[in-house]
């Protein structure tokens, strides 16, 4: 669970890839597996994964095609091996400070990085699409609810604007679970227009903890999500470190409703979209 409402960014693409490697299955696992193959040749989007297994473990199973490495989670020097791998591929520590418990038996890790500039149109200037942008009558509000900022690649940064906080969680749920097309279709009435791109200035660093029950008998995992995100008039830069770890005595998870999206304080909900599917999700408090 997210312990308190704050700015954050995570990678559902990384989460689903790690869950699939751990043995989970289902339509969403398959969808993101196919998506990762399409993104494999995109220079602005990189994914690096590794499985760290406790030295004392006799486990021999394979975790998909992920590389594995034995470490002693009780030994600081071995734990630094994980930090070194993170720095090698993320070029920074991402806030990771040997956060795995000493009782950890396995940790699946992924570094997902994305960087791109905004797309320039025929007039040479970046543009963005606004949804519900016209004041049509005095008794009905047609305020901007959603912004779509295309990058020079085939990606779109979608921002949900904090005008009506009562509808934002539902709209964000549509966006993260069903994609951009479904989110746009639920805006009623809907008007759109294209205007000169004015990207909000966003800079955030986050760490969130969520428990994740993998739908196999292999293990129950705790998810650690470290994220850095910068948005400016130049473009967008996102780094996310995702870790799913399991300890020797991991217990079944008690089902709880995630209320992290119900904070009343105005915020932006964000998603980086590829092929109508979010590969990054986030929440930002100005």
133: helix, strand or coil: coil
Q: Classify strands 127-131 and 192-196 as parallel, antiparallel or unpaired.
A: antiparallel
pLDDT at 163: 65
pLDDT attached to residue 240: 96
Distance linking the first and last C-alpha atoms of the chain: 22
Q: What token pair was written down for 29?
A: 């696992």
The confidence score (pLDDT) of residue 95 equals 86
b/e for 112-121, b at 16 or more Cβ within 10 A?
bbbebebbee
Rounded to 5°, angle at Cα 189 from 183 and 191: 80
Q: What is the pLDDT of residues 256-271, one digit of tens each?
A: 444 444 455 678 899 9
Using an 8 Å Cβ cutoff, are 71 and 53 in contact? yes
* Residue 137, H or E segment: none
Domains in the chain, start-ordered, CATH in brackets? 8-115+202-253 (3.30.497.10)
Of 9, 37, 23, 42, the residue nearest 176 (C-alpha): 9
Per-10-residue mean pLDDT of the chain, 286 residues long, equals: 69 94 90 93 91 80 85 86 91 84 91 93 78 54 76 91 65 84 77 81 89 63 92 94 84 44 69 95 89
Check: CB of residue 81 under 8 Å from CB of residue 70. Answer: no
Give tens-digit pLDDT for 32-50. 999 999 998 888 999 999 9
Q: What is the pLDDT of residue 260?
A: 47
Nearest to 224 by CA among 53, 55, 126, 107: 107
Instruction: State how far the Cα of 64 lies from the Cα of 19, in Å rounded to an integer.
Output: 10
Q: What is the pLDDT of residue 250?
A: 57
């Amino acid at each position: 669970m997210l312990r308190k409402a704050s700015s954050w960014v995570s990678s559902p693409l990384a989460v689903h890839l790690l869950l699939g490697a751990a043995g989970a299955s289902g339509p969403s696992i398959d969808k993101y597996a196919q998506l990762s193959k399409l993104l494999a040749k995109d220079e602005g989007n990189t994914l690096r994964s590794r499985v760290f297994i406790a030295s004392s473990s006799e486990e021999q199973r394979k975790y998909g095609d992920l590389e594995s490495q034995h470490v002693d989670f009780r030994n600081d020097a071995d734990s630094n091996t994980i930090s070194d791998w993170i720095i090698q591929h993320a070029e920074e520590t991402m806030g990771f400070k040997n956060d795995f418990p000493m009782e950890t038996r396995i940790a699946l890790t992924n570094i997902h990085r994305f960087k791109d500039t905004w797309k320039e149109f025929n007039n040479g200037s970046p543009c963005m699409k606004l949804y519900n942008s016209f004041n049509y009558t005095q008794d009905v509000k047609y305020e901007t609810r959603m912004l779509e900022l295309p990058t020079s690649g085939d990606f779109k940064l979608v921002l949900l604007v904090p005008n009506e906080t009562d509808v934002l969680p539902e709209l964000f749920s549509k966006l993260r679970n069903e994609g951009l097309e479904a989110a746009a279709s639920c805006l009623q009435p809907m008007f759109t227009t294209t205007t000169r791109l004015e990207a909000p200035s966003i800079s955030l660093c986050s760490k969130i903890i969520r428990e994740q029950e993998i739908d196999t008998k292999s293990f129950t995992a705790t998810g650690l999500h470290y994220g850095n995100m910068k948005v400016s008039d130049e473009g967008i830069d996102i780094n996310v470190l995702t870790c799913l770890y399991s300890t020797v005595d991991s217990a079944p998870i008690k089902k709880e409703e995630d209320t992290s999206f119900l904070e009343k304080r105005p915020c932006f909900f964000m998603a980086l979209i590829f092929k109508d599917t979010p590969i990054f999700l986030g929440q930002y408090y100005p």
